[in-house]
Structure 1
């Protein structure tokens, strides 16, 4: 009788209660592949969930939606050429049948689950996932670049949708509110689209990083003269404001910064009901647009950006821990000076 291998998996009970559990390694079911994990990124959503502040993730949870690994087993009906391939995953688990899925907008599937958020994720020795969620990685894209595809895809999606609303962004002013990981990726995506980008953040160190990454200017959103300062740098109102914070104050400031007929793109996860200046939104014909995750074209575009060297990973990846020190990794992710914290599991490439 063959004994199943044991599989370690991280369980988050709270930000100060992150532990390892051990169970028998899962076998892939029909349509699934098993991936041996090499590296996982900790996302802002992971931190919010660990602190009990994410509205759609319940504690305890088993994280890992930003992942790179190697396929080591496949279930029935899965092409065996996946075996041995190095992959990342697209973690949105959609039904494929609802109106949104049939329209190609499976990122807002009516029954959407996110792997590693509402299901057990990749922060484990291995994991199983539907084979259609696998994305093969080019050999010349190392793990430190590949692990950033998933978090970059949401900003790419947001910038693409903004351009669909207001037109070509080349040479046009854009404001990004928040210079955490998603804000910095949004800066990079908007710059790649040709925009002139100004970034807001409370911390001087984060504003300095944004300027190193190409922001034409930055400002402290809490400064009484913040809006005037931003408009001076921009040379007038912004065509688009992308809010990666999503608080009452940030939305209100976004509305003050955006031009009439412009777009305010909401990327940050709001904590409950958030008042907005609806009178100004109506009067100025502003588009207030929510943005959730991405679809495959955004994911592929993010991969291409990373492969082209458009993302300076040394400015983004700020700490790494092995899986035995996952608790320390979550603690480090709570430090505002860290950008992207990684957890290594297997041997990175």
Structure 2
């Protein structure tokens, strides 16, 4: 074991440093994991900018993580040193009503590894053994790094119910929007429209299977989307979660349709057209994170080739250049930026 390890500390977007700290030791029920690949999430960028409603600065990031088990704590079964694992970062209590019902993603005392606790953007980290999944032998580390980001859309699509033969609008062609496109197509959606402000992102959505990708700021967006879908969307996935996107979703969705809010909104109030939601019997539902079932589905979808790392991963940086990775993630043309860890 090294005497010290490297760990990323985020104080702000302009103050991201490598701190050197003693290595952690696994407690009972925990694993000690050596990081291999860690993703920079949109939530990380919002947090670093001071805009995330649930992450306080400073924080130590790394919730999209792939690594290798190096040691096990007391009582751990089913894992051994050398196992490759992917982190499921929702740290739930296991006692509250949502946890007891299986919906531990909305635990009343939920904390997220790498958001409210020190994360995996480090040489080594510890985590309860029940918060990781073994990486299938057929998946590379880069593929495995997409499991956590894809699990969020898998959960959102499951919330929408059976999509077979239905029409879908996805608002936002960032990483979550593009992966929602893949998850919705896999779930049987007949036609999918993806919107975004940036032309490059719209082109990427078309390459990845969208039937149309109109500009999010088009004055006739509703007409363009309805024409591409053959009518209003049965389901809208709002991966932007702002006042404008919610207004667009309300206009785009069919009477009796479903809006699933996938993106993380800013703190405070967001005006919505309650008159239209009531009059059209529109169902608006939030979607938070994922459960084990969503992780299994994400791994299977990646293994099938329907989601390819080469389509999503647009940049990688070593751990020592984590600040550059965060800055690169600010570029709207980037999709998924990864940090690779070579070891202490």
TM class, shorter-chain normalised?
over 0.9
Normalized against structure 2, the TM-score is what?
0.97
Change (3 A) 1:80 1:161: closer
Structure 2, unaligned runs of 5 or more: none
- Does structure 2 conserve the Cα–Cα contact (< 8 Å) formed by 1:74 and 1:80? no
Deviations 1:292-334 (A, max 9, x none): 0011001110011011111122121000000011110000000
In structure 1, C-alpha distance between the alignment counterparts of 2:88 and 2:248, rounded to whole Å:
33
In structure 2, C-alpha distance between the alignment counterparts of 1:201 and 1:120, rounded to whole Å:
33
- Does structure 1 conserve the Cα–Cα contact (< 8 Å) formed by 2:153 and 2:179? yes
Equivalence for 1:278: 274
The reply to whether residue 180 of structure 1 matches residue 207 of structure 2 is: no
The reply to whether residue 25 of structure 1 matches residue 23 of structure 2 is: yes
Q: 2:201 aligns with which of 194, 200, 206?
A: 206
Instruction: Provide the secondary structure at the position in 1 that maps to 2:168.
Output: strand
Q: 1:293 aligns with which of 265, 269, 289?
A: 289
Deviations 1:171-203 (A, max 9, x none): 211000000000000000001111121001001
In structure 1, C-alpha distance between the alignment counterparts of 2:150 and 2:132, rounded to whole Å:
17
In structure 1, C-alpha distance between the alignment counterparts of 2:65 and 2:288, rounded to whole Å:
19
1:126 CA drift (Å): 0.5
1:206 CA drift (Å): 0.4
Q: 1:43 aligns with which of 38, 41, 44?
A: 41
Q: How many residues align?
A: 341
Equivalence for 1:322: 318
Instruction: Provide the secondary structure at the position in 2 that maps to 1:217.
Output: coil
- The aligned runs of 1:103-252 (5 Å cut-off) are 103-163=101-161, 168-195=162-189, 196-252=191-247
In structure 2, C-alpha distance between the alignment counterparts of 1:320 and 1:4, rounded to whole Å:
25
In structure 1, C-alpha distance between the alignment counterparts of 2:68 and 2:266, rounded to whole Å:
36
The reply to whether residue 343 of structure 1 matches residue 339 of structure 2 is: yes
In structure 2, C-alpha distance between the alignment counterparts of 1:319 and 1:289, rounded to whole Å:
33
Deviations 1:102-132 (A, max 9, x none): 0000000000000000000000000000010
In structure 2, C-alpha distance between the alignment counterparts of 1:11 and 1:255, rounded to whole Å:
40
1:16 CA drift (Å): 1.4
- Does structure 2 conserve the Cα–Cα contact (< 8 Å) formed by 1:244 and 1:268? yes
1:80 CA drift (Å): 6.6
Q: Relative to structure 2, which stretch is displaced further, 88-97 or 72-81?
A: 72-81
Instruction: Provide the secondary structure at the position in 2 that maps to 1:88.
Output: strand
The runs of at least 4 aligned residues of structure 1 exceeding 6 Å deviation read none
Normalized against structure 1, the TM-score is what?
0.96
- Does structure 2 conserve the Cα–Cα contact (< 8 Å) formed by 1:39 and 1:346? no
1:170 CA drift (Å): 1.8
